[in-house]
Amino acid sequence: MKYKKDKNMKKVVFYMMLLVMSIGYAYAQGKADIKFEQTTHNFGTFSENSPVVSYTFKFTNVGDAPLVIHQAVASCGCTVPEYSQEPIAPGKTGTVKVTYNGTGRYPGHFKKSITLRTNAKTEIMRLFIEGDMTAKDAK
C-alpha cells in the first residue's frame, strides 16, 4: 500500500513541476512594449479663427514581439486620433496623430485624453493634449 501512495505522490509532484515549468515558459515568451517620446502635448495659445490643431506622438516598440494598437479612443468628439494600423516590429517606430477641432467650442483652456489599448506589457496607455483657444476678437 505504501508503494502505491509513493507512486501517486511522484506523479503529483511530476505534474506540478511540469505545470510550473510551462507557466515559466509562457512568461518567457516575447512581449511587445511601447515607449513614447512624450505622452503630453501643450498646443499653447491659438485663436478661434484657426481652431484645428494637430500633434503627432511618436513611439518605439522596445519589446521583443510585434506591437499592435487595437484601439484609440478620445475623451471627446472634438478630438480625433489616427494611429499606425499595422504591427510595429521590435525596435521600429510608429505614430499616433491627434487632431483637436475647437470649432463651435467655447474659447478657453482644454485638456483631452486619448486612451490606447495595445498588446504591450502595459495594455492601456493614455496620451494627453491641452491648450488655450482664444476668442475671435481677442488680441
Checking if the pLDDT of 20 tops 70, the result is no
- Is 54 among the domain residues? yes
Answer yes or no: pTM beyond 0.85. Answer: no
Residues 6+ apart with CB under 8 A from 20: none
Assess whether 95 and 115 both reside in one domain.
Answer: yes
Lowest mean pLDDT among 4-18, 53-67, 120-134: 4-18
Roughly how many angstroms between the first and final C-alpha of the chain, as a whole number? 95
Residues 64 and 20 in one domain: no
66 and 9 in one domain? Answer: no
DSSP secondary structure string for all residues of 56-124: EEEEEE-SSS-B-EEEEEESSTTEEEEE--SPBPTT-EEEEEEEEE-TTSPSEEEEEEEEEEESBSS-E
**Owning domain of residue 95:** 34-134
Same domain, 4 and 66: no
Q: Are both 118 and 81 inside the same structural domain?
A: yes
Number of structural domains, the chain?
2
90-132, pLDDT tens digit by residue?
999 999 999 999 998 889 999 999 999 999 999 999 999 999 9
Residues 100 and 56: beta-carbon distance below 8 Å: no
Given a cut of 80, whether residue 38 has pLDDT beyond it is yes
**Residue 28: predicted pLDDT:** 46
- Residue 27 pLDDT more than 90? no
